[in-house]
Structures are given as C-alpha cells and as structure tokens.
Amino acid sequence: MRTQTPKLGHKTLLFLLCFIGFLTPHDVVAVQILSKSKLEKCEKTSDSGNLNCTKKIVLNMAIPSGTSGGEASIVAEIVEVEENSSQKMQNFRIPPVLTVNKSAAYALYELTYIRDVAFKPEEYYVKTRKCERDADAKVVKICERLRDENDHIIEHTEPICCPCGPQRRVPSSCGNVFDKLMKGKANTAHCVRFPGDWFHVFGIGQRSVGFSVLVQVKTGSKVSEVLVGPENRTAISNDNFVRVNLIGDFVGYTNIPSFEDFYLVIPRQGGPGQPQNLGRNLSMWMLLERVRFSLDGVECNKIGVSYEAFNGQPNFCSSPFWSCLHNQLWNFWEADQNRIERNQLPLYGVEGRFERINQHPNAGTHSFSIGVTEVINTNLLIELSADDVEYVYQRSPGKILSINVPMFEALTQFGTATITTTNTGEVEASYSLTFDCSSDVTLMEEQFLIMKPKETTTRAFKLYPATDQAAKYVCAAILKDSDYKEVDRAECQFSTTSTVLDNGSQGNPFNPPKTGTTGFFDSVESIWNNLWNILVDFVTGKTCSGCATVASTSKGTF
C-alpha cells in the first residue's frame, strides 16, 4: 500500500484505491479517482455487453496522458468498496490489482489523392535561327515539341520563339547583317520541361483522435483484460469479469491542428498516379497551403504549373527568364533547408515539426497521423463482477502499541514514523490507520490493514515538514475499525530544529544519524547558519534515544 502521491489528503483517501506505483518511464502522473468504488446491483438491460452478475464493483477514474501526450501507465490496488452508500466499507480478502496502460494519443487525417506535380519545373532556351513551333530537334533541340506514346503531339509543348535583342527574356545579340541574310534572323526558343522528381499531392480531410486504454485486472492468479478506445468505447473481458466504459468526449483537445486548408505532398513512390504505399521516409513530406497550388495547372507561379500556363503567359518574350515558374516545391524545400541550417523549425516539412508521425497503431501504407502532444485525462468507468469476491469485514477492537520516529537523516527534510498496531479481539478484521500532524506537516495518506487476532502490524508514514524553520509538531495516530469507528488514538509531539553542516558530533547524546555528519544540539546558536531542519526528539516524558515511543494507554495526555 505504497503511494507516490503524498499530497492526497485524509478525505481524498476515502477513495479507496491505493496506488502501488506509476510505471511511466519518465513521468509520474497523479491519477484522479472520481468516485469511491461502490458495490452496486447488476442490472440486466437488453443491451448486450453487460456483466453477467448480481453485484458489481463500480469505480470511476481519470487517467492523464504522459508528457507530450505520450504513453502512461498506472497500477492501483482496490482495497475497499463501499456498500450501497452507507459509508460501510468492505475490505477485499484478495484486493484486485488494476493496471491501466494508456497509449499515446494521435490525430489521424483522411487523405485523398489529387494529382502528381513536378518538384522543379525548369525553363530551357536554345539560341537558334529559324525557330518555329514545329521546328525539329536539329533547330530547337530540347524544346522540340513533345509527343505521347501514340505519337500524338502533346499540346502546348511547342517552343515559344523570341526574337533576338537586348530587352528579351534572354537578351541575345542579333549578329551582323551578313549572318542575318545567310542563316536567318537570330532568335531564342523557350520551353518548360519537368526533368526532375515528381511528388504526389493529397487533400487532407477529417481528422480523428485515437488512443487505446488497456485495463488489466489481476485477482489472485486470475487475469482479465479489456481494451477500449474512442472507437470501441465499451468493452468487456472474455471471462465476463471486467467491463470498461470510456466516458465523455475529447473536447478537451484544443491544439490539434486542422489541415483542411493544406495539401500534403510526398515524393512519388514508384510510378505516376495514386500510390499504393506512401513509404516510411518522411524527410521530404511537406504540408503547403492549398492556395499555392494550381490543380488544373493553368496558373503561373503555382505548384502544378502546366505547359499551357507557361506557354500562354502574356508578354512572353519581354518577361524575365523563368517567369511563371516561381513558388514551386523546390523553392519551399530550399527555404526549409535554410531555416534548418539556422536552427529554426521548418515551415513546410513535417519532420521536426510534429511528433510521432505515422506511429499510430495499425498505421497502414496509406495514412497520415501526428502525435497529440496535449496532456488529456481519459475518464474510465470500470465495473468488476463482485459475485465471487470475498471480503474481510468483521469488526474487532484494536490498539496502537507504539509510534516510532527515528531521527530524520541529516540533509533530508523528511522522516518516517512507524506505527505498530494490534488486533486485540477474537476475529480477523479490517482497520484504517491515519497519522495527522499539525498543519505544517503535509497530510499523510490513510492506510488500510487487515489483522488476524493478536497479530501486530507496523505501518510507515512519511513526514514532510513544510517549513525549514525550527518548529514543534503535534500528531495523532487514529485506528478505526471496519465500521469506521475510532478504536484507539495516540498523540505525540516532535520538534525540529535547525542545524549546521559541520562535521563533528559535538557531544550528541543520541545515536547519530547514519551519515554521522551533523551535530544536533549545539546548533541553536547556529540558526543563522541554518541549512536543514532535523527532527530532534519526541516530547514523550522519556529521554528520546533516537526515537520516540508513545504508549497508546496514555493517549491524549502529552
């Protein structure tokens, strides 16, 4: 019954789950228990997916995500259950241990293939004479008009011929009169070609948020598992023992981007046209605003520019070389590379800008997802069939035998109180034990225990004084029986004082702490030199030899 949430207060502790530990590798998350675990009647409704039981344990909890929306895992033990809101608690003989593993959350986007576009359309020109639309390769070389596989001329691929002169697209000398007469007038032939890589363009549609939560319940040697997620919000274990319901919406997510105004471009995989597989190499995947594209290719200076747009541009011969071919994929790619060299985030590339791209479960060959980095609680309603559960719920008196507080270790600011209790009655029974100190000590979590007749049990409570000034504290240990009635109480006091970090045990009459580096009692003069508070003693009427003992028979008399 160890906990890593020491701040839970006494009242919170009625929530009856006892956290054994948080297994998240880098992150300790606090789980919120939204209600007590309750024992309820199983109602038979017409729905399928009900537990086949007469009684069930119902609990409600919130599981946060790990850092950056990553995986989270918690383990909790259900120690008690409340019988029909009577405040009467029942303890399990074999407490079910609950493990909840929540996967990282992701946003998955629908993709619609649109078309392929060239990465880098290029303008070519050839200095020639006799440039004509239908000139052959001897005259216009690369700018000869193109034919398709059926030998049909491809429209708008013919060269555009510009006369020579200084004010031209490519300024050129017109040569001498003799050349002009003999060979024809000098000119330049211009054309656009798409020699390099091609990219697939996808429209981005609706997004859906996904994650999965695996709930495992171990009772003795029996293990039951249930997997739920936004698609399957309710599920039941194969053995009909556990039912889990994911409650509520994911309205909490506020910063999942919507890419409805963007297209996704990825390098062509294999041939032209819609790819079967988008591949796993994300290094050149980019998201670009839709307005940067011309889907029919008829606009200049947009991604997807066509032969038609290029050849049809107005004032062709007097416009600058390469006009109509700006703002292409390669320009955006290079802009990103410049930013990356300056250690800035890319503006268009997806890598480096998003986490866990396409790492969702069952990521297929044709998907686009990004990790959701927001930390969000998932509310779960967990029901366990309670028909075969055994309880320990007999009542028996008990006593607190001792409270023992060893000195705080030097250089730490907390210590551990150990409280020994015994069952003074005739039957095995459950108890609760609390240890509360005056307000300057952080509230400690209530502990639940089961003791056989005459059995003694020792429980530890960590003390965290909130102040680093010398102070006195009054504490009370309270033992309650299974009906939550107080059966014994012991009070005690302790004080802390300041100390110095010097290295000598200046006549310390007590067992020095393990590190042996601190003088405890000559330090009053050294308060100005104070670094750490150290628990000195319990005021018990006895000389404290490193610990304090309080007999429960003398309760309330300090």
Ligand X SMILES: *[C@@H]1O[C@H](CO)[C@@H](O)[C@H](O)[C@H]1NC(C)=O
Provide the binding-site residues for ligand X, judged by CB under 6 A.
Answer: 23, 41, 52, 73, 83-84, 99, 101, 214, 216, 227, 229, 231-232, 281, 283-284, 503, 517
Give the shortest CB-503-to-ligand X separation in angstroms: 4
Residues 6 or more apart whose CB falls under 8 angstroms from that of 498 comprise 468, 469, 470, 523, 524, 526, 527, 529, 530, 531, 532, 533, 534
Give the shortest CB-536-to-ligand X separation in angstroms: 21
DSSP 555: T
Nearer to ligand X, 87 or 173 (CB): 87
Residues 6 or more apart whose CB falls under 8 angstroms from that of 372 comprise 69, 104, 105, 106, 107, 209, 211, 253, 256
What are the structure tokens assigned to 70, written together? 């990553």
Nearer to ligand X, 101 or 306 (CB): 101
**Strand, coil or helix: 334:** helix
- CA atoms of 428 and 447, how far apart (whole Å): 17
Give the shortest CB-117-to-ligand X separation in angstroms: 16
Contact 74, 100 (CB under 8 A): yes
- CA atoms of 104 and 214, how far apart (whole Å): 12
Nearer to ligand X, 337 or 438 (CB): 337
Distance, CA of 211 to chain centre? 10
Number of C-beta neighbours around residue 327 at 10 A:
14
Nearer to ligand X, 99 or 269 (CB): 99
Contact 69, 375 (CB under 8 A): yes
Dihedral angle computed from the Cα positions of residues 283, 287, 288 and 294, in that order, rounded to the nearest 10 degrees:
90
Give the shortest CB-39-to-ligand X separation in angstroms: 7
* Terminal alpha carbon distance of the chain: 30
What are the structure tokens assigned to 64, written together? 């946060």
Q: Is 227 exposed, middle or buried (0-12, 13-18, 19+ CB in 10 A)?
A: middle
- CA atoms of 233 and 247, how far apart (whole Å): 8
Nearer to ligand X, 515 or 554 (CB): 515
Give the shortest CB-448-to-ligand X separation in angstroms: 21
- CA atoms of 257 and 396, how far apart (whole Å): 59
Nearer to ligand X, 255 or 283 (CB): 283
CA atoms within 13 A on the CB side of 470: 16
Nearer to ligand X, 134 or 239 (CB): 239
Give the shortest CB-281-to-ligand X separation in angstroms: 4
Give the shortest CB-224-to-ligand X separation in angstroms: 11
Nearer to ligand X, 232 or 365 (CB): 232
What are the structure tokens assigned to 46, written together? 């017409």
- CA atoms of 444 and 13, how far apart (whole Å): 9
Give the shortest CB-226-to-ligand X separation in angstroms: 10
Give the shortest CB-67-to-ligand X separation in angstroms: 14
Give the shortest CB-100-to-ligand X separation in angstroms: 8
Nearer to ligand X, 73 or 157 (CB): 73
Phi/psi of residue 527, nearest 5 degrees:
-60, -35
Beta bridge partners of 160: 190
Nearer to ligand X, 196 or 205 (CB): 196
CA atoms within 13 A on the CB side of 176: 1
Positive/negative CA dihedral, 39, 44, 47, 51 = positive
Give the shortest CB-85-to-ligand X separation in angstroms: 8
- CA atoms of 361 and 156, how far apart (whole Å): 47
Nearer to ligand X, 239 or 261 (CB): 239
Positive/negative CA dihedral, 494, 497, 502, 507 = negative
Nearer to ligand X, 23 or 170 (CB): 23
Give the shortest CB-340-to-ligand X separation in angstroms: 14
Number of C-beta neighbours around residue 455 at 10 A:
13
Tell me the pairing of strands 38-41 and 80-83.
parallel
What are the structure tokens assigned to 396, written together? 């028996």
Give the shortest CB-230-to-ligand X separation in angstroms: 9
Nearer to ligand X, 142 or 227 (CB): 227
